[in-house]
Chains A and B, each alone.
Chain A
Amino acid sequence: MFYYHKKYLLIMVALAALAAFYANSEPLVANNKNFETANRFLQQANNDEKKARQSLVDANSVRQAISKARVEARREKQSDVKVELLKKAERLANELEAHQKNGADYRVQGQSKMQLAADSFSVGLIELFEKWIVNRAPLTMDPETLDYISHNTAVRSVHPTMLNKMGTAEEQQSGNKNSIQKDNVMTLRIASLMGQSAPADLNISAFRLSNQQGYFAHIEVHNSTEQKNNVSQVPLNNIHQWRLIISDVKGAPVSGKNIKIVGHMPGHVHGLPTQPQVTKELAPGVFLVEGVKFQMQGWWVIQFEIYDDNNVSKSEQELAPLDILTFNLIL
């Protein structure tokens, strides 16, 4: 009896020590069930995506076999062989349809699993950085700053070679003749996404999984280091601050990394008007981003390239980022 007690006691002491260890090591990685769930969904999503791709590859080879059978059938003189070949083509066509349907189904399934993974990661990240994450909404433009500067239309920047693809003055004139004079309604507020083709289902979440699926991160706007000033609206033409909050996919804060910020507008050739920088790690995994400024409304892509801190000696050209976090903003 005593023997058993001693054994239990040992186990309990070991458990207590383990618990104490985890309690002291910041933060409580092991307790975050959401990351486990998220990883399970992520794995399923990846498997589905792999199956989707395989189905589409299979579909492709079946499509080639169909063409081959049809060509052979056309050339075949003997009618019974010809019929056989056409039957084969028909059978294959059914197979093709099945492959295509499979591929599409797996893709949809994978995407919904990916969404579930992202949701769980988000919940996990919010739990992990409870006192840091204040604002979960996607970023928007502060309308008050917008009205003041009236920067409502898009500067469209093109490569010089694009000019000859713009049609001629005559074409333009015949299409729009006197349109301004006829149309007396003021159309001052030109759609800010003019000339940009942001997909309708663009993911503009402030929570994103990295390109290589190594990290999960969140961005939010701060107008000063005081947390109370947090808003989800960025001001136009004003330098302001962001917080970038990163964990790895296992739920551990990502600390001591070099992070480079690159921004651009798809459909334009220009980037940000300033060079924002990570100036401080406020806490493990919580990075202060300073110098962010947007000079235009529209679709922006902001990328955070994560570099290993140990590689600082290498020249810029030699360095490849460990991973990249990509956020889409519709401002």
Chain B
Amino acid sequence: MRKVLYIIGSIAYASLIGCGEQKVEHDYSNADIQFLSNLSLTNLSAPLESESNQYSDSLAAAKMGHRLFFDSDLSSNGSVSCATCHQPAKYFTDGLKRSVAIGMVKRNAPSVLPSAWSHWQFWDGRKDSLWSQALGPFEDPSEHNFSRTKVANHIIKNYREPYEETFTVIPESIYSIVQEIDATPLGTTRQKSLWRKLLPEQQKAINQVFANVGKALMAYQRQLKMQPAKFDGFVDALSTNSLTSSNVLSNSEQNGMRLFLGRANCVSCHNGPLFSNFEFHNIGAPESDKQQVDLGRFSAISALVNDEFTCLSEYSDAEPENCMEMRFLKKKGPELVGAFKTPSLRNIGKTAPYMQTGQFDTLEQVISHYDMPTPPYYNRLQHPSRPHFDILPLKLSEQEKADLISFLQTLTSPIDSDDLWWQAPLE
């Protein structure tokens, strides 16, 4: 009798599941599933609210930012745009150790995809918003090698209508100035001296256009969405009790995931749906130039304090008392020395090389470093204090290292060829 019931039950079960996909059993508890679901893209919050950019969610600003992002006329040789180093096909990176634009850039180009969720921008966090960040590369001699007057001139010539519809009218009094003068307070001696000769209100009008270009670029980058990766499919299937052979992670991937969340402690810093806490840590990645060490977050503090375009500046839309991160900026502490922002691990399998100057070519090298790290390089003459060190040896087996890498590969989102935000604008 029992045998008959068993057979009937099996038939009923098989017909419920259907032919192609086999339901997969698992032993994750409800608490585990709840925990894992916090890491799924499905549960990603909206980007950080931007007090300093009132246009951050404006579609008009995003559309203008979209054009600006791919516009290579915003560079001294007419061939460098934001997309030169942030290429959509490479998840908005360039695959180089250190980016090459007009010259060679100091650091590796990070993906822009997770940046709208971070309080701090650049590897060292020397900018406190995405709009302020966007302004840096224009005036960097090794990047766009442009100036704010040239940017303003380009806007007046090519973007005046969408600009004025979205932001505000550009005073005609600066039309001829920005056409004739190449000036910025950050450039060459000549550019600086020309900038100083401008009247304060002229400087302010130019800076306003420049700042709004950054705000449009920020609005664009906030529109960039990632498709769910294999990992997200797995977690979502666990949450909805629909785990099948088609969405389950392999044993190696699951072991890697357990290590990632457990003994390897990766999730300590690489947490949340974007796998980053966006804070600053020193993991002792090899120093690429021992003659001139990179102090990371430590140097960023003075840059932030002196920056013209922070949340506290006159070009910010925030009330100064709401600029919490800047008001309570941590300015001192040994943990700032040589610390860099935790990068997101989304699409990590497709965004080699790794670390701030591409010190590691492969994920194998990265995992080997975490497995048996070298303490940070220390030079008494160059470092203000002995660098802080944030990681401990993991001592994993070769199989465990391979599993961890298999898991990291499940964080790659497919590129949606229909997503227009991911492509150069048509016009």
Residues of A with Cβ closer than 8 Å to B? 147-160, 163, 166-169, 172-173, 176-177, 180-181, 184-190, 237, 239, 269-277, 290-291, 293, 295
Which chain A residues border B378 with CB–CB below 8 Å? 160
B330 within 8 A of A: yes
Nearest B residue (CB) for A173: B397
Which chain A residues border B372 with CB–CB below 8 Å? 169
Q: CB within 8 A of B259: which of A148, A155, A180, A190?
A: A180
CB–CB A155/B268 < 8 A: yes
B263 within 8 A of A: yes
Which chain A residues border B371 with CB–CB below 8 Å? 169
Nearest B residue (CB) for A277: B328
Q: CB within 8 A of A270: which of B255, B331, B333, B393?
A: B333
CB–CB B38/A186 < 8 A: no
Assembly CA distance A274 to B39 (angstroms): 25
Assembly CA distance A166 to B27 (angstroms): 33
CB–CB B281/A290 < 8 A: no
CB–CB A150/B271 < 8 A: yes
Instruction: Given the known inter-chain contacts A173-B397, A189-B31, A274-B329, please indicate yes or no for A166 contacting B392, CB distance below 8 A.
Output: yes
Sample (15) of A-B pairs whose CB atoms are under 8 Å apart: A150-B35, A151-B277, A157-B335, A157-B390, A163-B393, A169-B393, A169-B395, A185-B27, A186-B28, A186-B258, A188-B36, A189-B31, A270-B335, A275-B329, A293-B328
CB–CB A153/B327 < 8 A: no
CB–CB B38/A150 < 8 A: yes
CB–CB B324/A172 < 8 A: no
CB–CB A158/B389 < 8 A: yes
Chain B proximity of A168: nearest CB distance (Å): 8
CB–CB B375/A151 < 8 A: no
Assembly CA distance A4 to B295 (angstroms): 84
Assembly CA distance A177 to B269 (angstroms): 26
CB–CB A151/B327 < 8 A: no
CB–CB B271/A151 < 8 A: yes
Nearest A residue (CB) for B372: A169
B90 within 8 A of A: no
Per-residue A-contact encoding for B2-45, CB less than 8 Å = 1, 0 else = 00000000000000000000000001110110111011000101
Assembly CA distance A185 to B27 (angstroms): 7
Instruction: Given the known inter-chain contacts A160-B376, A291-B327, please indicate yes or no for A184 contacting B27, CB distance below 8 A.
Output: yes
Which chain B residues border A167 with CB–CB below 8 Å? 395
Q: Tell me the interface secondary structure of chain B in the complex.
A: loop
Instruction: Given the known inter-chain contacts A186-B28, A186-B32, A189-B35, please indicate yes or no for A160 contacting B328, CB distance below 8 A.
Output: no
Q: CB within 8 A of B262: which of A151, A169, A188, A239?
A: A188
Chain B proximity of A277: nearest CB distance (Å): 7
Chain B proximity of A297: nearest CB distance (Å): 10
CB–CB B325/A148 < 8 A: no
CB–CB B333/A271 < 8 A: yes
CB–CB B328/A290 < 8 A: yes
Instruction: Given the known inter-chain contacts A149-B38, A291-B328, please indicate yes or no for A160 contacting B375, CB distance below 8 A.
Output: yes
CB–CB B261/A188 < 8 A: yes
Per-residue A-contact encoding for B261-290, CB less than 8 Å = 1, 0 else = 111010111011000010101001000000
Which chain B residues border A295 with CB–CB below 8 Å? 277, 279
Instruction: Given the known inter-chain contacts A186-B28, A291-B328, please indicate yes or no for A150 contacting B272, CB distance below 8 A.
Output: yes
Chain A proximity of B194: nearest CB distance (Å): 38
B386 within 8 A of A: yes
CB–CB A147/B262 < 8 A: no
Per-residue A-contact encoding for B359-396, CB less than 8 Å = 1, 0 else = 00000000000011101101000000010111111010
B334 within 8 A of A: yes
Chain A proximity of B345: nearest CB distance (Å): 13
Q: CB within 8 A of A180: which of B258, B279, B330?
A: B258
Which chain B residues border A155 with CB–CB below 8 Å? 265, 268-269, 281, 390
Q: CB within 8 A of A150: which of B39, B259, B393?
A: B39
Assembly CA distance A176 to B265 (angstroms): 16
B140 within 8 A of A: no
Residues of B132-164 at the interface with A, using a CB-CB cut-off of 8 Å, are none
Residues of B31-62 at the interface with A, using a CB-CB cut-off of 8 Å, are 31-32, 34-36, 38-39, 43, 45
B307 within 8 A of A: no
Residues of B216-238 at the interface with A, using a CB-CB cut-off of 8 Å, are none
Which among A156, A270, A272 has the highest number of chain B CB atoms within 10 Å?
A270
A-B contact sample (18 more), CB < 8 A, given A159-B386, A169-B395: A147-B34, A148-B272, A149-B38, A151-B268, A153-B267, A154-B268, A158-B389, A160-B375, A166-B393, A169-B393, A176-B263, A180-B258, A180-B262, A188-B262, A273-B330, A276-B328, A277-B327, A290-B328
CB–CB A272/B265 < 8 A: no
Residues of B313-342 at the interface with A, using a CB-CB cut-off of 8 Å, are 324-325, 327-335
CB–CB B395/A172 < 8 A: yes
CB–CB B388/A157 < 8 A: yes
B73 within 8 A of A: no
CB–CB A239/B267 < 8 A: no
Chain B proximity of A194: nearest CB distance (Å): 9
CB–CB B36/A270 < 8 A: no
B308 within 8 A of A: no
CB–CB A150/B267 < 8 A: yes
Assembly CA distance A312 to B279 (angstroms): 33
B71 within 8 A of A: no
Chain B proximity of A281: nearest CB distance (Å): 17
Assembly CA distance A284 to B359 (angstroms): 55
CB–CB B393/A188 < 8 A: no
Which chain A residues border B393 with CB–CB below 8 Å? 163, 166, 169
Which chain A residues border B31 with CB–CB below 8 Å? 188-189
Chain A proximity of B306: nearest CB distance (Å): 17
CB–CB A180/B34 < 8 A: no
Assembly CA distance A154 to B328 (angstroms): 24
Instruction: Given the known inter-chain contacts A269-B335, A272-B330, please indicate yes or no for A291 contacting B272, CB distance below 8 A.
Output: no
Which among A173, A177, A188, A276 has the highest number of chain B CB atoms within 10 Å?
A188
Q: CB within 8 A of A239: which of B34, B324, B331?
A: B324
Which chain A residues border B272 with CB–CB below 8 Å? 148-151
The 5 closest A-B pairs by CB, nearest first: A291-B328, A160-B375, A172-B395, A274-B328, A186-B32
CB–CB B29/A186 < 8 A: yes
Which among A155, A169, A237 has the highest number of chain B CB atoms within 10 Å?
A155
Per-residue A-contact encoding for B75-99, CB less than 8 Å = 1, 0 else = 0000000000000000000000000
Which chain A residues border B263 with CB–CB below 8 Å? 176, 180
CB–CB B277/A149 < 8 A: yes
Assembly CA distance A172 to B264 (angstroms): 13
Chain A proximity of B33: nearest CB distance (Å): 9
Chain A proximity of B238: nearest CB distance (Å): 11
CB–CB A237/B277 < 8 A: yes
Nearest B residue (CB) for A275: B330
Which chain A residues border B333 with CB–CB below 8 Å? 270-271
Which chain A residues border B39 with CB–CB below 8 Å? 150
Which chain A residues border B376 with CB–CB below 8 Å? 160
